[in-house]
Amino acid sequence: MDDHLLGWLRTLDEDRLGRILSNRPDAIAAPWPRRLDTLAQRLSNGFAVMEALRGLPLPCLELAQASLVVRHATPERVAEFLGVPLGELTPWLDRLQDHALAWPDAEGAIHLAEAVARWWPTPLGLGEPLDHYLNSWTISLDTLRALARRLGLPSGGHKRRAIARVSEVLADPAHLAALLRHAPEGTRELLDEFAWSGPVRDVDGGRFVTPGTPEKWSADHGLLYRPSWHVAEMPREVALCLRGPGHRPPFTPEPPEVATIPIDPEEVDHLMTLAAPHVVERCAALLDNISKTPLPLLKTGGVGVREVRRVAKETGCDEDETRLLLEICAVARLLAWDEQAGGMVPTERFDRWRLDEGAARLRVLLSAWWRMERSSLRRLDGRYGTLLGDDRSGPAVARIRRAVLPVLAHLPSGTAFADRAGLIANVHWHAPLLDREMLGECASAALEEARLLGLIANDSLTDLGRALAGLAARAGDENDEVVPLVEHDPMLVEASTRALASVRRSALFGPDLTAVVTGPPAAELAALLDRVAERESRGSASVWRFTPESVRGALDHGHDADELLDELAAVGTVPQPLDYLVRDVARRHGEVTVTTVGCVVQASDPALLAEIAANRRLTRLGLRLLAPTVLVGSADAERTLAVLRDNGYAPVPVADTGEITIRRVRPEEPPPGGKLVLLPGGQVAELPERPVPSGAAALAGPDGLAHIVADPTPDPYEHARRLVAAGQSAQPAGRTWAVIGRMATRLPTAQQSLLGFVVDRGVRAGITLTGGLTATISHGELKGAALDAWCEEAGDYLEFPLAEIVEVRAAY
């Protein structure tokens, strides 16, 4: 924890602290902090700082780098260094402070979080300060004195004095210019390479020990330092002198302009209402297809191109659309690997998903795409990556997607971007920590994926895309087990409902055995027509044609003629030719039958087989007499053997070759269920395979089933008010130990000390109460004779009477 940050937080009012908590939701995630020191510890966490830094635009990062370079970086000095008015700098400095990445110290200088300084070891392309090199243990006092003599300085005094003299000379442009007049030829060119393209460069180590070379002269005069034989570095002050007093680092307060063209908003809205229902319908068709034929994986992982093309052909999907929807379904847990099936198959979640209303199904897919860490349509060397394969740059892909759409949301209403290169440059200004090369590769893919999902139309955001773009901070991770809050966002709910409001739930049946849907068909209507007819076209109007083969396919899947005609009549008027076609195909359906036989029972005595066939206790085997000496049964051979033996017969198994085979049967182990866990008080219970994660709660969905959602964080401004009040009423030092020592009398001294650390430092510990109740606690506070602490089992703050705590143990 940074003590400077804690001191600054104590000076803030409720409004400023509330803005920080709004911008840093990670700081008030469960267990939400109740003291400023705990909050400061979270705000200074290196990973959290980097996530906050990724969400800041380019001017904030340029300002942060300049503050790392300028000594005693007051806002005035940084503004002078950048060559901009102070007023132009202030909004970006406020933004850094509102994210707790920078704050003023006691003297008014800009103090940056330690993780920010670690991110830029060479800010603005400049190396470490001279003090870093001159104070190194590799440079002795004799070496410093020799360097001072070469620079024409007095060589007497202690090491600190010598360092100050050398630093003052090498940081002075006039002294450095006079020194370079006596340098060997080529020295200036060598130093300029380090000053502008350094500060660390690979070198030829031999030239640093060869007399008369620019490298040796520069090293002898303290202008270059070698941490290793083939690597040299230039100090920060030397590089700034070489760049000259007129050098101004870049500062870009305005983003690059995105060229736009006017478009028709009504057309964009119309295209959205066509694309959104199509996504839901095609997704259901893909999963229905995979439920019949599991999707196998390659030995190297992922799904092969042949399988993608097969599924695309059988479902009538475009190949790009198939790739995208399959990966979205995997992230949404609608599709998963099944060992028994030997491939990817739809999950139970898919069964619940297809029962939801269309808008809810669409939101599940959009939420999965929003957090998906793959780029389905990204091309590398002209080829797509392996579907559902590993992608090492996964998190970066998700960040690029969540950076592109918000930029489009800032374009004026009724316009679309006209230049993709200008759009990418604008995205990079808003998210400068994104890799520029990867941004160029993935941005086009993200735009195309968004177009297929109905988020973009005519190079402009639709209402769906605009609602999703505002949820970048709430997207969640691809591996989240909880339902993302994105699916329940009110704006997205409204947009998805409107996107599916124009779906058609009826069809026009023609005497030419066609069905026409004038508009986007509902998923249920499309599934019905796909089951009975062949789709001929899709778009603003979709056309299906009924053929004997298509009707027979529906009958082959278990539907009868009356059922099909009733379902078709529910969505339109069935003409007489279609009625004749269905009934005629049904009349010829089943002329040839095929029966599955579980096993064959043979005996040389016809009377014995007749007795077995008539035995009522064997009816469950489904035995039928085909010939005097042959019975067939519906049960398999092992079950038939067991039942016959239980009823007093003595059958033996016969292999396919006709030989008698008797083998030992090992009893199968019962299938694994949930896992056994030890509950407080020593009780044992069985939990399901996927219990509710810590810090999550159950939410009843539209299907009446329980979904899992993350617990909401407290209101930032309300929590800031509590933190300020807690800071003003801080307990006096030493009170914690006095109260615990007086009240927790059942604990030995060592365990009382550990309980004190739970209060004073928020450490994690396990406790046991009288009666055997156990809990894992942290972030405790003393309230009278009770310990008010975060309980991981309950997912909330609970009060534990100090007198009833009988054991405290460390929890790791």
Amino acid at 418: A
The CA dihedral of 498, 501, 502, 506, to the nearest 10 degrees, is 170
Sign of CA dihedral 175, 181, 186, 189: positive
Neighbouring C-beta atoms of residue 575, cutoff 10 Å = 15
| pTM (whole model) above 0.85 | no
What's the gap between Cα 339 and its chain centre? 26
The DSSP string of 64-100 is HHHHHHSTT--HHHHHHHHTS-HHHHHHHHHHHHHTT
| Rounded Cα distance, 401 and 447, in Å | 8
Amino acid at 769: L
Q: So what's the pLDDT on residue 2? A: 64
Contact 330, 344 (CB under 8 A): yes
| Rounded Cα distance, 322 and 811, in Å | 47
Cis peptide before 265, with omega less than 30 degrees from 0? no
Q: Enumerate the H helices of 244-318 as residue ranges.
A: 265-292, 305-315
What is the edge-to-edge ordering of all strands in the sheet holding 225-228? 200-202, 231-233, 225-228
Sign of CA dihedral 651, 655, 658, 659: negative
Burial of 188 (0-12, 13-18, 19+ CB in 10 A): middle
What is the edge-to-edge ordering of all strands in the sheet holding 805-810? 796-801, 786-791, 774-783, 765-769, 805-810
Q: For 231, what's the count of Cα atoms within 13 Å in the CB-facing half-sphere?
A: 4
Q: So what's the pLDDT on residue 667? A: 38
Both structure tokens of 812: 């790791």
Burial of 588 (0-12, 13-18, 19+ CB in 10 A): exposed
C-alpha distance across the termini of the chain, in Å: 20
Q: So what's the pLDDT on residue 628? A: 84
pLDDT of 129-142, one tens digit each? 888 888 887 788 88
**Phi and psi, residue 784, nearest 5°:** 65, -120
| Rounded Cα distance, 199 and 214, in Å | 17
| Rounded Cα distance, 660 and 116, in Å | 78
Both structure tokens of 463: 């209402």
Sign of CA dihedral 393, 394, 395, 401: positive
Neighbouring C-beta atoms of residue 249, cutoff 10 Å = 18
Of the candidates 768, 766, 761, the one whose C-alpha atom is nearest the C-alpha of residue 777 is 766
Helix (H, G, I), strand (E, B) or coil at 618: helix
Helix (H, G, I), strand (E, B) or coil at 571: coil
The DSSP string of 473-508 is GG---TT--SBPGGGG-HHHHHHHHHHTTT-B---E
Burial of 528 (0-12, 13-18, 19+ CB in 10 A): buried
pLDDT of 170-184, one tens digit each? 888 889 899 999 899
Contact 452, 320 (CB under 8 A): yes
- Which residues, in sequence order, are CB contacts of 559 under 8 Å at separation 6+? 531
Both structure tokens of 751: 């365990």
Q: So what's the pLDDT on residue 477? A: 77
Contact 376, 449 (CB under 8 A): yes
Q: So what's the pLDDT on residue 641? A: 84
CA distances (Å), origin 542, targets 267, 273, 592: 19, 14, 35
Calculate Rg over the CA atoms of the chain. 37
| Rounded Cα distance, 323 and 302, in Å | 11
| Rounded Cα distance, 52 and 25, in Å | 10
| Rounded Cα distance, 348 and 195, in Å | 62
Of the candidates 218, 167, 160, the one whose C-alpha atom is nearest the C-alpha of residue 189 is 218
Helix (H) or strand (E) holding 600: strand 599-602
| Rounded Cα distance, 783 and 691, in Å | 33
Both structure tokens of 84: 């901009």
Query: Could you write out the three-class secondary structure of 349-385?
Result: HHHHHCCCCHHHHHHHHHHHHHHCCCCCCCEECCEEC
Q: Enumerate the H helices of 589-652 as residue ranges.
A: 606-614, 637-646
| Rounded Cα distance, 489 and 367, in Å | 10
Both structure tokens of 25: 């939701």
Residue owning tokens 């209101």: 715
- Which residues, in sequence order, are CB contacts of 711 under 8 Å at separation 6+? 30, 695, 696, 697, 795
| Rounded Cα distance, 131 and 138, in Å | 13
Of the candidates 172, 160, 193, 139, the one whose C-alpha atom is nearest the C-alpha of residue 238 is 172
| Rounded Cα distance, 756 and 734, in Å | 10
| Rounded Cα distance, 497 and 490, in Å | 11
Of the candidates 398, 417, 397, the one whose C-alpha atom is nearest the C-alpha of residue 407 is 417
Indicate left, alpha or beta for 257 from its phi (over 0: left) and psi (-120 to 50: alpha). Answer: beta
Helix (H, G, I), strand (E, B) or coil at 781: strand
- Which residues, in sequence order, are CB contacts of 400 under 8 Å at separation 6+? 375, 427, 431, 434, 438, 439, 442, 443, 446
Indicate left, alpha or beta for 809 from its phi (over 0: left) and psi (-120 to 50: alpha). Answer: beta
- Which residues, in sequence order, are CB contacts of 157 under 8 Å at separation 6+? 165
Q: For 416, what's the count of Cα atoms within 13 Å in the CB-facing half-sphere?
A: 15
Low pLDDT (below 70) residues in the chain: 1-2, 392, 481-484, 539-540, 591, 657-713, 727-734
Both structure tokens of 777: 């606690």
Contact 427, 267 (CB under 8 A): no
Q: So what's the pLDDT on residue 573? A: 87
| Rounded Cα distance, 33 and 780, in Å | 10
Residue owning tokens 């058609």: 504
**Parallel, antiparallel, or unpaired: how do β-strands 599-602 and 514-517 relate?**
unpaired
